[in-house]
């Protein structure tokens, strides 16, 4: 995460590694590629850590697991904007890889909660941080007070944007719809080209 912040804030250490002849557009592309590469590694570390946490706390409630995933995805969206259709093409390969990783995790843990994998995916897509009565929909009491305070302050820092989940992005960026739109756009461009030789 520190490296992602360095990239985004044009930290001197990061900028010293960049070719000074690079245009702003080229620099933006390099930053984007680096962030996606870093998030590929972070996602693997996140799911490994979450798996380790489940081994240590076998009675960890499903809602708490979903809470941690929601936190990770909300932070990820802050940096690579997966919930924005305008970033779809740049994020497409990363999102496919992330979804595969998440599906593997869901497949591995679904049985522990007495669920089918597809049922767990559906539960996650509809998961909310609060219950209908407004109570927290997770339990962090197994963590130290310091860790709870850190997580709560982190969640407060994301409050303005609200939670973002890749499930939402998958609906926004449905690949079939995207392909249909792209095909339609290409056909329109061809039609315009043939009208204006």
Cα torsion through 99, 101, 104, 109, rounded to 10: -100
Percent of the chain with pLDDT over 90: 24
Output 119 or 193, whichever has higher pLDDT. Answer: 119
Give the pLDDT confidence score for residue 141 in this predicted structure. 92
Q: Is 48 exposed, middle or buried (0-12, 13-18, 19+ CB in 10 A)?
A: exposed
Least confident range of 40-54, 62-76, 102-116, 159-173: 159-173
Cα distances (angstroms) measured from residue 51 to each of 41, 71, 95, 139, 166: 16, 16, 20, 17, 19
Task: Determine the number of helices (DSSP H) and then strands (DSSP E) in the chain.
Answer: 9, 0
Ranking 46-50, 87-91, 118-122, 142-146 by mean pLDDT, the lowest is 87-91
């Amino acid at each position: 995460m520190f490296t992602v912040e360095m990239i985004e804030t044009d930290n001197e250490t990061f900028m010293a590694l960049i070719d000074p002849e690079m245009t702003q557009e080229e620099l933006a592309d390099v930053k984007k590629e680096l962030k996606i590469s870093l998030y590929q590694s972070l996602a693997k570390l996140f799911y490994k850590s979450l798996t380790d946490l489940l081994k240590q706390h076998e009675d960890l409630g499903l809602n708490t697991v979903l809470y941690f995933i929601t936190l990770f995805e909300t932070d990820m969206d802050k940096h690579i904007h997966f919930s924005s259709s305008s970033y779809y093409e740049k994020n497409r390969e990363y999102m496919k890889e992330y979804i595969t990783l998440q599906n593997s995790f869901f497949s591995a843990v679904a049985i522990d909660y007495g669920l089918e994998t597809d049922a767990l995916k559906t539960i996650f897509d509809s998961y909310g941080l609060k219950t209908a009565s407004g109570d927290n929909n997770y339990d962090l009491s197994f963590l130290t007070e310091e860790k709870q305070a850190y997580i709560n302050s982190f969640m407060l820092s994301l409050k303005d944007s609200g939670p973002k989940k890749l499930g939402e992005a998958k609906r926004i960026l449905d690949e079939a719809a995207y392909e249909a739109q792209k095909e339609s756009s290409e056909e329109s461009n061809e039609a315009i080209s043939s009208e204006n030789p």
